[in-house]
Amino acid sequence: MTNSYHLGVDVGASRVHAATARYTSSRNERVEPCVLSTTGDDMSASMWVSREGDLEFGAIASAWAREQPEAIVGDLRRRIGTGIPFLVAGHRVFAEEAYAQLVAWVVGAVTEIEGVPPVGVVLTHPVHWGAHRREGVRQAVEEHCRVPVDLTPEAEAAAWGAVDEAQAGELWATCDLGHTSLATAIVRRHEDGWTVLPEAFGTAPLGGLDVDDALVGSLLSDRATARSPVRAPSAELRSASVAAKEALSTDTDAVLALQFTPGPSTVRLTRDEFESLIGELLDQTVCAVRQTLTDGGVTAEDLSGVVLAGGSARIPLVTERLSTALGVSALAEPDPGAVVAMGAARMALRKSTGDLAAEPDSGSSRDEPLRPNDQVAALIPFIPPERARLATYAWRLVVASLIVVCAVYLAWAFTSDSVGVFGLGGHADSVVEPPRGG
């Protein structure tokens, strides 16, 4: 198996996934997730800012999150392209810089494991990002990673990761159940890959956090806990709800041991009870997919299937509900949280061998166009966005000054009979004055 590989990176609101893709000695594709933490393949998408202004990620950030929660920032993507910095520990941190350092941390961690850096990186992004956000992220990441970086919409990467065989022209829906949001899109298969249909995408404020909240509410209302005069710590309840959600993805029931002030309490939750808690959330998920179909001028009968991504896609009822509502199969990988990163890695590998042509621009026409001031900020990544206007004027002044200097010099040079100006033949002190008078 060759040592060279391509890397796919998917930065979500709360978690980061990465995957490598390479060809084996028999020219078969091998795509596998990367281990980014001691607890699993993924890692937290949060950053910790030190008093000196240094940014830390991974295990260090997770450790400091317990000691200095006020110095932790999550969901870095929400400030991309806004020019509004995070104010943390007395420092201003721009989202593009933090995002780029996070990706560089991932690339460095994978490089340490593999022994060599990747040939190239494909970084996923929300479908609705326009050219301004994509270019700002691309330049910042390339500056920190020093490797070629391509960007692709998350929906297209999800299709690459989950659909092994599809005919050109097939339409698939993608449903990414993230931590804080639900992203839906319709993608079309073509000879060179996948493309998001224009306007056929959307987001909804619905995600795994809502599932966790429903479970926390259930735990608090349970008769065993209702008798406790003092509630369990919220962090413990949150952790217990996540554990229950993960357990019920494969088991029919989950038994949780909680520590309350009067004493420990055991709570048993069945899958049927869990599914009744999240039924309304799943109805909203189905409605979001149907709305995306309507926006794209597509009906459920036009679909060949649904691709599920995101950690909450592990819930069996999600697959069942979408398949029943849309009348097509819903594909959920064993690790749906990593499917987007794995698809990005596969896309990078195919692209490097010519199996995939250059990706089409599938950015949103809804995104605000790049303004002249932002062009300078995008072209020169170290200029903060709020100083882009000043940078624009300064650049124009420099260019205008150079034009004036060149014009004056050329006018003086062409009116002189000497060719020895500035060493172009002879010396400057040998210039002969033109004759005066008649």
Strands 121-125 and 149-153, bridge-based pairing: parallel
Q: Tens digit of pLDDT for each residue in 126-135? A: 999 999 999 9
> In this predicted structure, what is the pLDDT of residue 263?
57
- Residue ranges of domains in the chain: 6-206+280-370, 385-430
Cα pseudo-dihedral 406, 412, 414, 420, rounded to 10: -100
* pLDDT above 50: residue 430: no
* pLDDT above 80: residue 169: yes
* pLDDT above 60: residue 373: no
Burial of 221 (0-12, 13-18, 19+ CB in 10 A): exposed
Task: Indicate the pTM of the whole model.
Answer: 0.76
CATH number for region 6-206+280-370: 3.30.420.40
The amino acid at 414: F
Q: How far apart are CA 150 and CA 49, in angstroms?
A: 28
> In this predicted structure, what is the pLDDT of residue 141?
93
The amino acid at 194: W
Q: Tens digit of pLDDT for each residue in 273-296? A: 889 989 999 999 999 999 999 999
State whether the Cα torsion 300-305-310-316 is positive or negative.
positive
> In this predicted structure, what is the pLDDT of residue 369?
37
Q: Tens digit of pLDDT for each residue in 133-154? A: 999 999 999 899 888 899 999 9
Strand-pairing partners, residue 184, are 175, 202
> In this predicted structure, what is the pLDDT of residue 2?
63
* 3-state per-residue secondary structure call for the chain: CCCCCEEEEEECCCEEEEEEEEECCCCCEEEEECCCCCCCCCEECCEEECCCCCEECHHHHHHHHHHCHHHEECCHHHHCCCCCCEEECCEEECHHHHHHHHHHHHHHHHHHHHCCCCCCEEEEECCCCCHHHHHHHHHHHHHHHCCCEEEEEHHHHHHHHHCCCCCCCCEEEEEEECCCCEEEEEEEEECCEEEEEEEEEEEECCCHHHHHHHHHHHHHHCHHHHCCCCCCCHHHHHHHHHHHHHHCCCCCEEEEEEECCCCEEEEEEEHHHHHHHCHHHHHHHHHHHHHHHHHCCCCHHHEEEEEEECHHHHCHHHHHHHHHHHCCCEEECCCHHHHHHHHHHHHHHHHHCCCCCCCCCCCCCCCCCCCHHHHHHHHCCCCCHHHHHHHHHHHHHHHHHHHHHHHHHHHHHHCCCCCCHHHCCCCHHHCCCCCCCC
pLDDT higher at 315 or 420:
315
> In this predicted structure, what is the pLDDT of residue 421?
45
> In this predicted structure, what is the pLDDT of residue 355?
59
Q: Tens digit of pLDDT for each residue in 221-274? A: 764 445 554 455 567 777 777 888 888 888 888 887 776 655 567 778 889 988
> In this predicted structure, what is the pLDDT of residue 417?
52
Residue 93, token pair as written in the block: 């941190």
Strand-pairing partners, residue 266, are 257
Q: Which residues contact 98 (CB under 8 A, 6 or more apart)?
A: 47, 55, 73, 76, 86
Rounded to an integer, the average pLDDT of 24-32 is 92
pLDDT higher at 278 or 429:
278
Q: How far apart are CA 220 and CA 223, in angstroms?
A: 8
What value does the mean pLDDT of the chain take? 82
Q: Tens digit of pLDDT for each residue in 191-221? A: 889 999 999 999 999 998 898 888 888 777 7
The pLDDT confidence band at residue 406, using thresholds 50, 70 and 90, is confident
Phi-psi domain of 320 (left: phi exceeds 0; alpha: psi -120 through 50; beta: other): alpha
Percent of the chain topping pLDDT 70 = 79
Percent of the chain topping pLDDT 90 = 53
The amino acid at 391: A
Rounded to an integer, the average pLDDT of 411-436 is 52
> In this predicted structure, what is the pLDDT of residue 394?
66
* pLDDT above 80: residue 393: no
Q: How far apart are CA 373 and CA 395, in angstroms?
A: 11
The amino acid at 67: E
Rounded to an integer, the average pLDDT of 19-36 is 94
Q: How far apart are CA 98 and CA 46, in angstroms?
A: 10
Q: Pick the closest to residue 20 from 102, 116, 101, 97 (CA basis).
A: 116
* pLDDT above 80: residue 436: no
Q: How far apart are CA 368 and CA 254, in angstroms?
A: 47
Strand-pairing partners, residue 65, are none
Looking from the CA of 79 toward its CB, the CA atoms found within 13 Å total 19
The Cα-based distances of 342 to 92, 122, 254, 333, 345 in angstroms read: 33, 10, 30, 11, 5
Q: Tens digit of pLDDT for each residue in 64-123? A: 887 888 899 999 999 999 999 999 989 999 999 999 999 999 999 999 999 999 999 999
Q: How far apart are CA 126 and CA 129, in angstroms?
A: 6
* pLDDT above 90: residue 323: yes
Neighbours of 90 (CB within 10 A): 10
